[in-house]
A and B are shown apart, each in its own frame.
Chain A
Amino acid sequence: MNEVIEQAREIITGYKGREIRIMEVCGTHTHEIFRLGIRQLLPESIKLISGPGCPVCVTPVGYIDEAVMLSLERGCTICTFGDLIRVPGSEKSLAQARSEGADINMIYSPDDAVEMAKNFPDKQVVFLAVGFETTTPSACLAVKKAKKLGLENFSILTANKTMPNAYERLKHSADAFLYPGHVNAITGNAVCRKLCDEGVSGVVSGFTAAELMSALAVTIRMLEKGEPFFVNCYPRVVTEEGNIAAQKLMKEVMEECDTEWRGLGLIERSGQRLRKEYSDFDARIKYSLPEIKGHSNAACRCGEVLQGKCRPDECKLFGKVCTPLHPVGACMVSDEGACSAYYQYDR
């Protein structure tokens, strides 16, 4: 074990103060915390809450229904990140649509979708654009490229989200946020500093064992002091101003909108949609999609899980009807979802 980990481990396991609640906002953090077994080291008085930072987990049911409709009823070729394929919609997932003949393709970059549209002019390609500030710039690039190439058979179905107003919504759910390193690498630290001025504490963390352990140790030490704080524990990647080129790109192609988060409901100005200049690439406009209100399983408690109000294993469906292979709620689908992590690592 390296020295940094060892020191952090001592601080974490030796904590004897009042009960504290730390919310890790990023799905990758959730996954790594479980994979490394960090929760097992925590004393009773430190609670980690898995927040809403897994894009798959907060994507509403209605969005899946829109994608299924595009594929099965409008004959579109869907390109998507893999996790989304198994998320249940009101009636079916994209995986089920695919086995009924829908053309669903798993890709790793939005650019793959543009290439597909270019190479197969007969296909109407739709990229499912989900994700936070980390993935939105690549979707913007794809749209710009498609426009430059004059592609008329490429569009995106946006469900892109931004974190600032989600932090506002969740700021009373924990004593401190473990901010997502990759998001801050794009946005910079201004939002976190503003929250700190309002009394909301947090630490931005990287993703290795040493980075996560030391970020938690710093959080604990700072909470003991009692003053609101913000610390950048991921300085090798996160700068104060962030990635200005990516910020500009997002502003150029997208604009703010209100958006629904699965489990959290509507959060004002927390979504991104294409600007008017790019509306030819907006799948909702292009295929005149009706407004779809999705229906999720009423017993599913993903929403409460995302706010730290309920542990995954307190949900009636957990591990019985809802498993990673047959997920009911979105938090069970992605490896980064809290329910999936509980199921895979904590039983």
Chain B
Amino acid sequence: MNNTVTLAMGSGGVQTSELIDNIFKKNFSNPLLTSDDAAVIDFEGGRIAMTTDGFIVSPYEFAGGNIGKLSICGAVNDLACMGAEPLYLTCSFVIEEGFPLEKLEIIAGSMAETAKKAGVVIVAGDTKVAGKGQVDGVFITTTGVGRIADGISTSGAFARPGDKIIVTGDIGRHGCTILLSRESFGIDADVTSDCAPLWKNVKACLDAAKDIHVIRDATRGGVGTVLYEIASQSNVGIMLDSSKIPVADGVKGTCSLLGLEPLYLACEGRLVISAPADEADKIVEVLRAMPDSENAAVIGEVTDSDPGKVIMLTAIGAKTLLARPGGELLPRIC
């Protein structure tokens, strides 16, 4: 490991895991702290899920959303992944001196709107202003609490051979949008962020099919990173069919120009679900009927061979390992 923190350690890939294992896990380790999107805590009369997430995206406004919307979606979706109905959020702002109030109003407005859409209430907050240059614009941290209904239990460790792997929509749009919104790439593609709160979509899936093993939020590091995490946590293999993975044309074109793999671009409104084969079609059908998941698709299956690995069936009918990226893909995407 390096002697100092590098940008790559924040990119969501292998180096982020190294940082978390070597510093945070070592110091904070306890039975409730897991690799899942939120902690599940037994509480009087039931279980709650709790999560926290910081947002430093640059630029703070982008096609399809802004840092405020993102901060609500992040917490809501982390809770939804544990099958928890999001109830309460807190938010903490660090704002740079000189930040326009008008922009802050817009950001707070989208937070309120997104919270309402997700059915969650913002119940506490904190505001700090830092000197010019000490932060870039505005950074937001949200913390969320949700209630898990009886009988629901999801975790990255629960994938079973024979499960189908589902994504809830076309992948990589958020990462691609941020990339394009940075100045002077000179690429003109019609791509908007997939940023969306997904509790209602998850609820519909849970109602339609009680037996869902894994729900994961494919944020930083994208669908590819989440699949590797599931393969490792559940000690299973995952076989993807490259022809089944939904990718919007604009994302596809941008990726081929810049040499990026859509599976590793961040999403902020896409989930990866692992569920038994006989439930999969039902889940996809339910998702396709709802906003923000119209392009849901089965993209692969869980296998008992190649544990810990993600294998791709390619366009020429060969099977290859899905390469794991190292280093910084796109700093500050969320």
Contact = CB atoms under 8 A, between A and B. Distances in A.
A345 B259 contact: no
Given A35-B323, A335-B323, A108 B258 contact: yes
A172 B284 CA distance: 55
A209 B327 contact: no
Interface string A148-167: 00000000000000000000
Contact of A5 (B3, B4, B258, B315): B315
A248 B36 CA distance: 57
Interface residues of B, number: 29
Nearest to A111: B184
Contact of B316 (A36, A323, A346): A36
A45 interface: no
Given A99-B5, A99-B6, A335-B259, A41 B318 contact: yes
Interface residues of A, number: 36
A209 B314 contact: yes
A36 B328 CA distance: 24
A106 B318 CA distance: 34
Nearest to B323: A344
B6 A37 contact: no
A298 interface: no
Nearest to A323: B326
Interface string B152-192: 00000000000000000000000000000001111000000
Contacts of B320: 34-37, 40, 345
A85 B11 CA distance: 15
Nearest to B3: A99
Contacts of A37: 312, 314, 316, 318-320
B317 interface: yes
Q: Is the interface of A mostly helix, strand, loop or mixed?
A: helix
Interface in B284-334: 312, 314-321, 323-328
Interface string A230-261: 00000000000000000000000000000000
B184 A325 contact: no
Contact of A325 (B3, B15, B319, B321): B15
Given A40-B319, A111-B184, A209-B314, A99 B2 contact: yes
A37 B323 CA distance: 12
B247 interface: no
A1 interface: yes
Contacts of A41: 316, 318
B175 to A, nearest CB: 15
Interface in A48-98: 82, 85-86, 95-96, 98
A109 B185 contact: yes
A223 interface: no
A218 interface: no
B316 A9 contact: yes
Residue of B316, B320, B326 ringed by the most chain A CB atoms within 10 A = B316
A153 B190 CA distance: 35
Contacts of A320: none
B327 A325 contact: yes
A1 B184 contact: no
B14 interface: yes
B186 A325 contact: no
A28 B256 CA distance: 11
A5 B316 contact: yes
B315 A325 contact: no
Interface string A312-339: 0000000000011100000000010000
A325 B316 contact: no
B248 interface: no
A96 B259 CA distance: 24
6 contacts: A38-B316, A111-B184, A112-B183, A213-B316, A335-B259, A345-B320
Interface of B: 2-6, 8, 14-15, 183-186, 258-259, 312, 314-321, 323-328
Q: Which 7 pairs from chain A and chain B are nearest by CB?
A: A37-B318, A344-B323, A37-B320, A209-B315, A99-B4, A325-B326, A324-B326
